[in-house]
Structure 1
Amino acid sequence: MESPHEVAIRISKMDSGDRKFNEADTRHKIIDQILHGVLSWPVSQTMHESFISPGFADYRLKRGNGDDLLFLEAKKEGVYFSIPKSFNSAKTHQFITVQTLLTDANIRAAIEQVRAYCMEEGCSFAGITNGHEWILFKTFESGKNWRNLKALVIHGNRYFAECFTEATNILGYSSIKEGSLKTSLGSINRNNREIFYPKDKISSYDHEVTSNGHARELRPLANKYFGSIDVSEPVFMDACYVSQRDYENAFSNFRLIIKDSLTPYMADRGIQQSDDNEKGGLFGNRIAKSLKDKKSGEVIVLFGGKGAGKSTFLRKLLYHNPPQYLSKYSRVAIADLLNTPEEETKIYDKIWSEIIRCLDVDGLLETDRASLLQLFEDRFELAKKQVLFGLAETSEAFNIALNNLVEAWLCDKKYVAKRLVFYWKLKHKGCVVAIDNTDQLPHNLQDFCFTTSQEISDQLGCLVIISMREERFHASRIHGTLDAYQNSGFHISSPVAQAVFEKRIKFVQLMLEDRKFCIELFGEQFDEKARVFKTLFRIFANEFRQGNDSPLNEFLSACAHGNIRLALELFRDFLKSGYTGVDEMVSAKGGLWKLKIHQVLKPVMIPYRFFYEESQSSIPNLFQIRSKSNGSHFTGMRILQKLADGIDPSNPFYISISELKDYFSENFNMVEDLEKNLDVFLKWDLIESNNRVDYYCEAVDSLKITTYGLYIFNVLSSFFTYIELVSTDCGIFNESKAHEMVELSNEDFRLFNARKRLERIRTRIAKAEAFISYLEAEEEQELNFFGPNLQRFTPKIRASFEIEKQEVLNSAQKKRNR
């Protein structure tokens, strides 16, 4: 039997220009299928051909008590409904006033007919359809002219397939009974205005921008030296690993930032903060204590935020530069699950295989049978008493049976691992197993990894470490285990991003002085390329130098908020982006080039695209309308303002979700818009929950703002480049303004292809001007509606724009005159 969504998909494929069904076939083969098969209207509550003088109502939907819910007038599919063309005509549906729809004769006749039935019977809602177009409207509203009310216009049956959830939430029988039509149809006010998306009308919106001319050489350099540190390269590790001691000493006077630290929620559950010093802090001490005490069956968890460097920390501590006691008395096995398929059996096999591989550093499993029998001594001695009993050791039967046994023992991974642990125990070394990169797995598989780690500790009698992102702790089932054992959970903080970049840039500068390195990177004729790259990295070194007021450093440090992996990724994009003018930077006269904010934002926000798209950028759109039913461009700003108001940047406080909900409910009636913005902000790390859950759900009970949130609120949100880029991604309530944004964007693209730089700058300024003036009008309207005491955001945006636009124009004019 088909599901409602499957019925919707099937019916949607019937839409065509060949409309030959008569009215009976249109009802039977299309309308009935949608009403009963898709929208679940019960046949018993749907009356057909109900007589109402002077005619018959085609469909009459009732409640169980007999009250009317909706009248629907059906026409044959050959009766065309002409819908006026508008900005959103290409969408599956839109809202249009009834008065506008009445200008088409066919629509007017059908609407007046079905409304007459409603007036006769006292029903508030009606609809008309020809099996393809559907129009639903409210027949009357107190104090309103019914012609001025908005109607839901469905442009074709693909709406029911492509927008199935929305369709059933509005037109499904259960939804209609619960009053969905009351909130969806009727007066046009702030709660249900039509939204227009300029990007939907820009044909070149997905156009990609090529990388800069030096990207071929920058790409391998960026990937190697601005990615994860490879522990197999000790020189790179020694030069670029940033320990807590390094950055606390070097950046003791660093400007106040919100630090990545242990949350109260985790501290209350016994998780301890561990410093990253030479001995691994409390975490390293805990490992050493377990080895000294020769404890077995222990599991400890290493927590850290996204991109905080948990993997690098583990490898540095356990492999690259272990404390003396660990180096002398331990043998380490790390099972890295980063690229493991998300299946329990494959994860389980990968963990045990990696344990064996790492513990068999002496190659015992590759030796001859005699050596293997020494390793498997316990089973061999038992086999001689049982399976091999009575067979002469020199006989063929004995050797065949023994070979089969050895083969079976080798395939028993748990047994092999157990014997290798025993082998190292005889050499006075305790084994430590680490299961790394579990945080990219779903919650159920993370729990599986934790239970597997417990099994390993029980089976092998060794210490097992499992790394986990702190965001995953709340949803995991390990709480009880951590509560049961003291000192079993540890948290590490990420280093300061500035220290990371300073060390890595310095290392690249040293490498560029090496002739062999330059030949490998640039070829035999490397002098000019090496000169360019040396100058480029001198510029970067200056940008990240302590005390230097650098937009690049400030931006990467803020948006990382402990996620060093993200900061490095953004820097790699910046290096390779077509918007990064390497030649212009290295050819500057009179000293080193100093980056301006617009030269940072565009390569980072849209490194390989011409237009900004939030879903494909590393930077969120703060002015996006999240709730289509009742949203505001300023909800995001109001959230960040509420969280930032009066905080100490070095020690921000948490605000309860209930307080935020109460504020947005009482002042704006925008709880849904609040929740959708919170979900985006948590995922982008603009805000942080007490339990580190990184998406909005009922488990989130309190929030604080992050460095990134403060930066985007106080700085980024008013920059010309940011405003101009997000403007075409935003939904807009004004159709005329949306058309203007489309035309300016198309002109921008044409000028880009024509390489008219100054004219492009003027067009981009005009686009930002249009968007800012629109935001000003929206803010003024909200102040009139919600009250004049609300904080204004557009004056700061306007003031910043007026200053920046002249600077940008002057810069473009100078470059044109060169």
Structure 2
Amino acid sequence: MNNIDQSLLMFENVKNNIDNFIKSDNNESDTRSKIIDNYLINILGWSESDIKREGKLESGYFDYKVSCPSISFVIEAKRNHKEFILPSSHTKVKIKSILRENNDVIQQIRNYCVDIGLPYGVITNGKQFIISKFFNTNGSDWKENICLIFHSIEDIENRFVEFYENLSKYSLINNGGFKYDYIPIDLEAKSILSTLIQRDKEIDRNNLSSELSPIIDKFFGEIFSTEQEDDLNFIKECFVENIESKKNRDEIERLFADKAPQMANVVKAINTNSIVSQIVEEISDDQINIKSPKSPKPIIIIGTKGAGKTTFINHLFRTRDNEFSENHLTVYIDFREFYEAYKSFEPTNISKEIYEKLTDKYSELELHSLKALKRIYQKQIKQNDESIWMFVKDKDEDTYNRLLTEYLSENLKDYSKHLEYLNNYLIRERRKRMIVIIDNADQYSILIQEKIFLFSHSLSRNSNCGVIFSLREGYYYKWRNRPPFDAYESNVYHITAPKYSEVLLKRINYTLEHLNNFEGKASSVTSRGIKIEMPNQKVIEFLSGLKDSLFSDYNSDLINYLSFTTYPNIREGLRVFKQFLISGHTDVSNYILREVYKEVDRVNKQIIPIHEFVKSLGLQNKLYYNSEFSIVNNIFIPPKDSNDHFINYYILKKFYDIYETKGIANKYISFSEIIEIFKEIGYRTNIIISSIERLLDYNLLESDELITDIEFGNLDAEIDLCISSKGYYYYKELIKRFHYIDLVLQDTPIFSQEYFSKIKSVFPLSDNKGLRDLKARVETVKEFVNYLNKEENRQAVGVFNMFGKPLDYINEQLNADILRIESKL
């Protein structure tokens, strides 16, 4: 696929050849093979796989069908002496203006287009081009459609940018179609946010954040840290094991046990009872002796981002018994730290890192000492003693020691080779095996993950080390049957995230049990100006009330929000919860007062309503909502080059409907198929693609489970997509609620000056504490819905027939929310 610089260079290189060929008399076949192929492949960047030649139709044989995810079209190639009669000094004309003089060729390609079901076609004789839409699907007269015309090679050269933007593969994919045929859209719009003077102003973090911060950082962060000593009690109390992780642990333990079990190459992880125990047993059964030095196959831990691969690996190896520690020397490499230090991956550097960590961690073994080095290289030293050193060994001690020192020093320079000798020494004389753990490699590109894969297998094979490393499941499943992965055997274990509610409950319980370490008093002022002073016991009361609010049978809204919008990324779920705790809009003091003065026999223990919770997350420390920075996503922002507020909604609804009607096993639909569905009801391809990419970026959609985590650059046409748990929650619940509309209307572009003025006139400004008048907020939401209703009425009937009216669905719950609020005003 050529960019414009490459295309122009190719055009300049071949234009003389094309011009000379055109001057000779050639038939249509020659025109195709010697001219049109040159244009399509060499100049315009199409590949052979994009092109189908001489397809049979009822009306005859078309010359070319060119296809990409954005658009497909037909090309009719005429003999080079067949001149089209075109109006000079024109670049665009209606079909009817040139139909009479070019009736045969236009009717011919129109018949092909109708037969094959593709509206667009290109007619060319090698020097002249007619590009147009030759039939319509909306019932309008096709002869009124506009043609883009090029008169000659010189005209193409003079208008090359226009030629490129309408026929190159690069432009058709990025523009979603022929650029000349764009219908201008009035994209002039304003958002409420853009007019606010204090739109970027932040409020202070909540009034107890300084007291909460050390607690939050300690108890709601990562269980494991390479920067400080592990709190084993914290690890044991807060690690959540599900059925899958237990089976994984048991199986890995078996990998290193006295007698290795017979295992399949890939361990199925889902719907099993004890995966953890298999891993632990394999480790424990490791037969460490010189007669059988071979290590178990490298272990690959796979899982989605944030599912708990690091937590699982660390829990597995840092909570083992003394017998395990006696027999195995574990070296943990956090690849993030390694890559930050070296800025690249080289086997020599990571081998050096492993060696240095090993000698530091197990300094009592004195593996760096001369005594140990002599034992490590005893065979090689003995061979030298009997050969090249024989004449100095007994006669010249100084020379012998110098030679020995030089030999050992030279060997120590090759860290990869030294690890091989070192581990064989440990097995041979210490009955210990080194286990190297390379964690967080999954956060880097496939190229780096591939290098780590090869290094790990080399380390295991050559050094007889046990090796465990983590990969992102998307990369592994996509590449496992391709080189180099298919050439090596590994034991692969899949980590599934535990239930978010279980993780959070354990963290809160542990925090409440260990708050005695945080003594003293906290003073603060509530959002209503009430000054209070309280011992840190009140922080305990806040977290107790929060626990009630999250896990009460009467209130599942908060935990549902956290679970649906972050699962399976448990790390992200904890990060979101931490953001709520320190948000400037989380009025901790008021929550504590509610808890302190609550009625003892109160049935509903809720102290934090869902609308306050979402507001705290959506605004963080800002006075106003800005979707660019907020973790609450705005689905009413149109895609690029569009003023349609509902395309994101329609696409989300389509995926929701597929999930609801076909079930979890059949919830996927290909990228190309969803594009075709929306093209049939009138949406341009570039708009559809832009919307889907935004929904993927928001994590409201996801790809099929085998490639969920692969970065989306150019989406493959056949990639399978489905609605995510977050997308399901947004469609099913969030977008219908007052607290969501109240936020997102603030930075939604308004394409009507009349309605913008109405919304702006009732929009209440925030005070310095982040409070806005509730009655005015209700009126603002009503005006915004009125605007959306006006925009909805502009939608095509075919869209309503397929998806219904968005506001009918949204207003079901939104009107109920507004009535409830107004009843309390």
**Structures share fold, TM-score greater than 0.5:** yes
1:593-608 pair list within 5 angstroms: 593-608=606-621
Which range moved further: 473-482 or 705-714?
A: 473-482
1:414 maps to what in 2? 416
The CA deviation at 1:698 is 0.6
Secondary structure at the aligned position of 1:331 is classed as strand
Q: Distance in 2 between matches of 1:170 and 1:312?
A: 57
CA contact (8 A) 1:652 1:705 kept: no
The CA deviation at 1:333 is 2.3
Secondary structure at the aligned position of 1:710 is classed as helix
CA contact (8 A) 1:542 1:548 kept: no
The CA deviation at 1:666 is 1.6
Q: Distance in 2 between matches of 1:357 and 1:290?
A: 25
Per-residue Cα deviation, 1:56-96 (whole angstroms, up to 9, x for no partner)? xxxxxxxx9xxxxxxxxxxxxxxxxxxxxxxxxxxxxxxxx
1:81 maps to what in 2? none
Per-residue Cα deviation, 1:515-555 (whole angstroms, up to 9, x for no partner)? x4436999xxx993412211111012213436452322111
Q: Which amino acid aligns with 1:378?
A: K
Residue 124 (structure 1) aligned with residue 92 (structure 2):
yes
Q: Distance in 2 between matches of 1:734 and 1:291?
A: 76
Q: 1:807 to 1:404 in 2, by over 3 A?
A: farther
Q: Distance in 1 between matches of 2:474 and 2:632?
A: 20
Q: Percent identity?
A: 20
Q: Distance in 2 between matches of 1:552 and 1:284?
A: 37
Unmatched tracts of structure 1, length 5 or more: 6-35, 45-63, 65-117, 126-141, 150-167, 249-267, 814-818
CA contact (8 A) 1:365 1:372 kept: no
The CA deviation at 1:601 is 0.8
Q: Distance in 1 between matches of 2:522 and 2:412?
A: 45
The CA deviation at 1:368 is 4.2
Q: Distance in 1 between matches of 2:159 and 2:725?
A: 39
Q: Distance in 2 between matches of 1:628 and 1:452?
A: 47
Q: 1:278 to 1:218 in 2, by over 3 A?
A: farther
Residue 240 (structure 1) aligned with residue 238 (structure 2):
yes
Q: 1:743 to 1:284 in 2, by over 3 A?
A: farther
2:818 maps to what in 1? 805
2:558 maps to what in 1? 552
Q: Which amino acid aligns with 1:235?
A: N
Per-residue Cα deviation, 1:329-375 (whole angstroms, up to 9, x for no partner)? 43322221023337675553553234324543432457643343334
1:488 maps to what in 2? 491
CA contact (8 A) 1:271 1:487 kept: no
Q: Distance in 1 between matches of 2:760 and 2:162?
A: 36
Q: Distance in 1 between matches of 2:794 and 2:721?
A: 29
Q: 1:768 to 1:170 in 2, by over 3 A?
A: farther
Residue 752 (structure 1) aligned with residue 767 (structure 2):
yes
1:220 maps to what in 2? 214
Residue 373 (structure 1) aligned with residue 374 (structure 2):
yes
The CA deviation at 1:386 is 5.7
Residue 405 (structure 1) aligned with residue 401 (structure 2):
no
CA contact (8 A) 1:447 1:476 kept: no
Q: Which amino acid aligns with 2:585?
A: Y
Which range moved further: 479-488 or 451-460?
A: 479-488
CA contact (8 A) 1:443 1:476 kept: no
Q: Which amino acid aligns with 1:307?
A: G
2:677 maps to what in 1? 663
**Match of residue 737, structure 2, among 689, 708, 719:** 719
Q: Distance in 2 between matches of 1:534 and 1:711?
A: 31
**Match of residue 461, structure 2, among 442, 454, 458:** 458
1:315 maps to what in 2? 314
Which range moved further: 707-716 or 627-636?
A: 627-636
Q: Distance in 2 between matches of 1:330 and 1:648?
A: 52
**Match of residue 437, structure 1, among 430, 436, 440:** 440
The CA deviation at 1:303 is 0.8
1:565 maps to what in 2? 571
Residue 304 (structure 1) aligned with residue 303 (structure 2):
yes
- Aligned-pair Cα RMSD in Å: 4.7
CA contact (8 A) 1:332 1:358 kept: no
Per-residue Cα deviation, 1:575-604 (whole angstroms, up to 9, x for no partner)? 100010100100013245522111111222
Residue 272 (structure 1) aligned with residue 268 (structure 2):
yes
2:189 maps to what in 1? 196
Q: Which amino acid aligns with 1:196?
A: A
Q: Which amino acid aligns with 1:456?
A: L
Secondary structure at the aligned position of 1:518 is classed as coil
Q: Distance in 1 between matches of 2:772 and 2:552?
A: 35
Q: Distance in 2 between matches of 1:634 and 1:541?
A: 38
Secondary structure at the aligned position of 2:716 is classed as coil
Q: Which amino acid aligns with 2:577?
A: F
The CA deviation at 1:557 is 0.8
The CA deviation at 1:693 is 3.4
Per-residue Cα deviation, 1:419-450 (whole angstroms, up to 9, x for no partner)? 33123313333333222101111121111111
Q: Distance in 1 between matches of 2:182 and 2:455?
A: 59
1:126-205 pair list within 5 angstroms: 172-175=162-165, 192-198=185-191, 199-205=193-199
Which range moved further: 671-680 or 208-217?
A: 671-680
1:330 maps to what in 2? 328
Q: Distance in 1 between matches of 2:591 and 2:796?
A: 45
Q: Which amino acid aligns with 1:717?
A: I
Q: Which amino acid aligns with 2:536?
A: A
Q: 1:536 to 1:415 in 2, by over 3 A?
A: same
Q: Which amino acid aligns with 2:724?
A: T
Structure-2-length-normalised TM-score: 0.68
1:737 maps to what in 2? 755
Q: 1:624 to 1:756 in 2, by over 3 A?
A: closer
Residue 653 (structure 1) aligned with residue 666 (structure 2):
yes
1:780 maps to what in 2? 793
Q: Which amino acid aligns with 2:474?
A: E
The CA deviation at 1:203 is 4.4
Aligned length: 651
CA contact (8 A) 1:557 1:567 kept: yes
1:12 maps to what in 2? none
Per-residue Cα deviation, 1:23-71 (whole angstroms, up to 9, x for no partner)? xxxxxxxxxxxxx99x99x999xxxxxxxxxxxxxxxxxxx9xxxxxxx
Q: Which amino acid aligns with 1:410?
A: L
Which range moved further: 677-686 or 500-509?
A: 677-686
Q: Distance in 1 between matches of 2:384 and 2:822?
A: 87
CA contact (8 A) 1:457 1:464 kept: yes
Q: Distance in 1 between matches of 2:574 and 2:448?
A: 28
Secondary structure at the aligned position of 2:748 is classed as coil
Structure-1-length-normalised TM-score: 0.69
Q: Which amino acid aligns with 2:779?
A: A
Q: 1:208 to 1:704 in 2, by over 3 A?
A: same
Q: 1:336 to 1:646 in 2, by over 3 A?
A: closer
Q: Which amino acid aligns with 1:421?
A: N
